[in-house]
Amino acid sequence: MNCRLFAIAAFGVLFACTEPTYQAVAPAPEPVVDPGPTPAETFTVILDDHWALRLDEDPILAEQLGEASGRGRLPDTSLAAYAAGVEARRALLGRLNEVDGTSLQGDTSINFRMLKRELAAEVAAADTNGKYLTISTYFAPVTELTRVAQRAVLRNEASVASYLGRLAAMKTSLEASIARLDEGVEMGWAQPCQALVGFERTYRTHLVEDISESVFFAPFQASDKPTAEQRAQAEELIRSEIIPAFQAFGAFYESRYVPHCREKAGISSVKGGDAFYALEAKRQTTTDLTPDEIHQLGLSEVARIRAEMTDVATEAGFENLASYQGHLRSNPDFYPATARERIERASSIAKKMDGQLVELFTVLPRMPYDIRTIPLDIAEGTTTAYYSQPAADGSRSGTYWVNTTKLSTRPLYELEALTLHEAVPGHHLQLALQQELDLPNFRRFGGITAFVEGWALYSERLGLEVGFYTTPETNFGRLSNEMWRACRLVVDTGIHSKGWTRQEAIDFMLSNTGLSQNNIEREVDRYITWPAQALAYKIGELKIRELRARAEAELEAEFDLRRFNDAVLANGSLPLSILEEVIDAWIAEQKEPS
């Protein structure tokens, strides 16, 4: 055989019998693409950054929560700090807008929507001049400082040093507040003159000669922790810095602020006031209701409640509502003779309700509350009672503050509704429980006014179910309190949106409530100096009652009032639209077979 042919033949045989071998080449790996954080992870970072901002702005809360950075500091009240806070919120809101919120579920979705709503409202508010309204019948730069002293507890060396640091910061704080108010005067955003009559008490009360009588020295007298040197340091700060700073504030207020106060009561009388009020109405009620819609709702509620009040007057033996109102306002038997009597009656009512809470709830807060008299430097200019929530670290209980001035204007028949509103099952139960819930901090230590105040007004009505309001006068007191909140819808919008005068507002409330004239005047001045805040109460209460009626209708015999109340409070305070979602989900869950 031809060798060449053999070779070819041999190759052919070889090729036919075996597969050729090749060096295997691995495919190029796919490039690793980092998917980045999930929307939930991104939101968590934003949530943390927001809370860090909040603690930086509120060093007192920060210290209560164990943050050393808060010690010895006061909130910065300057316009520069306000502007910086707005820009920080604008940046956070921008980051939130880049998160796909539709991918978030359950509690995370609620947290996302609530934070976004809060930031958007704060950024929008910065476009108005509301930042100049730092004086009202409820709050002012000087009263914020006295509250620091009233709430200070000197438990150890760190708390003593921190309080001394805050005393040292008060002069600068008031100087910044004066500058802010002064710019407001330049912009035409001062408060009305008549509503602030008597405001001078808030600073004159603290111009004492004997330092031992100063509210700022009281924490040192209530504690054995401060050294003699620290006591001397506090005395010197009060004498040489704080009292002169209060004097300077008073001089500014009397010589600069008062001469430029507004003659007209409504905020619509100042440039940009209408837009500010419409924005505040939406923010306070968490709805899209316009001032006019709120006004009409108020008139409807006034008519409904007035009919119920007339029925009670007839039950009490009077021919008409006006005669019964006159009887209640003029009979001295319905008024406390002493401050002690008023406090004791409030305490007795609170104790009675404490024993009935298990009939209304299955979950109760651990934190207690106490009852105190409103400090005299603000008592005559403020409302008949209010509440302050517990300290974040549990070092201070909740407090139900009762006004013991002008006793002839503070009827005892209103105390049941008032106590249920401010203490339990109202503000204390709701806010103390909220601080014990597993919620993000901005929700644990924050609050939605429409929910917080709506719950407290709803709580007054809960008394009907556990043995309260058993006499015509106490039931009339309950209705009068409800009417008071309904009138707020009419009066607040009347003043700030419809051009009502202060006297028109007073007359409307006198003709429709059982409140004394003094209480009505103080209330109207509050609405004038704090636009739209009073709208939240009745709007919130109506929503909670609507949801309860829905639950009762759908669940029928399976409706459990205790479980319903638990469900309303289970997520802390919520915007009303989100509350509705939560309760609708709860109703659906109750319908499911066990």
DSSP 231-278: HHHHHHHIIIIIHHHHHHHHHHIIIIIGGG-BSSSSGGGSTTHHHHHH
pLDDT recorded at residue 383: 84
pLDDT recorded at residue 32: 60
List the chain pLDDT tens, one digit each, 594 residues. 444 333 333 323 323 343 444 455 666 666 666 678 999 999 999 999 999 999 999 999 999 999 999 999 999 999 999 999 999 999 999 999 999 999 999 999 999 999 999 999 999 999 999 999 999 998 999 999 999 999 999 999 999 999 999 999 999 999 999 999 999 999 999 999 999 999 999 999 999 999 999 999 999 999 999 999 999 999 999 999 999 999 999 999 999 999 999 999 999 999 999 999 999 999 999 999 999 999 999 999 999 999 999 999 999 999 999 999 999 989 999 999 999 999 999 999 999 999 999 999 999 999 999 999 999 888 887 889 999 999 988 888 999 999 999 999 999 999 999 999 999 999 999 999 999 999 999 999 999 999 999 999 999 999 999 999 999 999 999 999 999 999 999 999 999 999 999 999 999 999 898 788 888 999 999 999 999 999 999 999 999 999 999 999 999 999 999 999 999 999 999 999 999 999 999 999 999 886
pLDDT recorded at residue 387: 96
**Does some domain include residue 556?**
no
Element at 106 (helix H, strand E): helix 106-125
Both 233 and 288 in a single domain?
A: no
Both 352 and 226 in a single domain?
A: no
- For every residue of 377-391, DSSP letters joined together read HHHTTS-SEEEEPPP
Both 423 and 468 in a single domain?
A: yes
**Does some domain include residue 593?**
no
| 435, two tokens | 């601080």
Q: How far is CA 494 from CA 6, 266, 299, 386, in A?
A: 116, 8, 11, 24
pLDDT recorded at residue 594: 64
**Does some domain include residue 575?**
no
Count the neighbouring beta carbons within 10 Å of the beta carbon of residue 520: 21
Determine contact, residues 441/58, Cβ cutoff 8 Å.
Answer: no
pLDDT recorded at residue 26: 62
pLDDT recorded at residue 58: 97
Sheet holding 398-402, edge to edge: 369-373, 398-402, 385-388
pLDDT recorded at residue 23: 54
Instruction: State how beta strands 369-373 and 385-388 pair.
Output: unpaired
pLDDT recorded at residue 559: 97
Count the neighbouring beta carbons within 10 Å of the beta carbon of residue 466: 16
E-strand ranges in 140-266 read none
User: Which long-range contacts link 152-160 to residues 24+ away (Cβ below 8 Å)?
Assistant: 152/219, 153/219, 153/222, 153/223, 153/395, 153/396, 154/219, 154/220, 154/222, 154/223, 154/225, 154/226, 155/223, 155/225, 155/395, 156/225, 157/225, 158/71, 159/225, 160/223, 160/225, 160/226, 160/230
Both 98 and 229 in a single domain?
A: yes
- Residues contacting 155, CB < 8 A, separation 6+: 223, 225, 395
Determine contact, residues 72/161, Cβ cutoff 8 Å.
Answer: yes
Q: How far is CA 467 from the centre of its chain?
A: 29
Both 204 and 307 in a single domain?
A: no
Both 371 and 413 in a single domain?
A: yes
DSSP 8-state symbol, 403: -
Both 137 and 181 in a single domain?
A: yes
pLDDT recorded at residue 34: 64
Tell which of 265, 298, 321 closes a domain: 265
Q: How far is CA 227 from CA 235, 335, 592, in A?
A: 12, 46, 64
Q: What is the rounded distance in angstroms from the CA atom of residue 397 to the CA atom of residue 572?
A: 18
**DSSP H stretches of helix in 331-444:** 339-354, 376-379, 415-422, 427-436, 441-444
Both 65 and 135 in a single domain?
A: yes
pLDDT recorded at residue 33: 63
Tell which of 245, 265, 285 closes a domain: 265
**Does some domain include residue 31?**
no
Q: What is the rounded distance in angstroms from the CA atom of residue 444 to the CA atom of residue 432?
A: 9
Determine contact, residues 127/82, Cβ cutoff 8 Å.
Answer: no
- Residues contacting 512, CB < 8 A, separation 6+: 302, 306, 483, 487
Tell which of 265, 288, 308 closes a domain: 265
- Residues contacting 194, CB < 8 A, separation 6+: 265, 502, 525
Both 352 and 256 in a single domain?
A: no
**Does some domain include residue 500?**
yes
Determine contact, residues 488/537, Cβ cutoff 8 Å.
Answer: yes
Both 246 and 192 in a single domain?
A: yes
Q: Which domain holds residue 358?
A: 275-541
Both 129 and 91 in a single domain?
A: yes
pLDDT recorded at residue 382: 82
Which of left, alpha, beta for 556 (phi over 0: left; psi -120 to 50: alpha)? left
pLDDT recorded at residue 514: 78
**Does some domain include residue 254?**
yes
Both 56 and 118 in a single domain?
A: yes
Number of domains the chain contains: 2
**Does some domain include residue 151?**
yes
**Does some domain include residue 287?**
yes
Sort 410 into a burial class: Cβ within 10 Å, 0-12 / 13-18 / 19+: buried
Q: How far is CA 423 from the centre of its chain?
A: 15
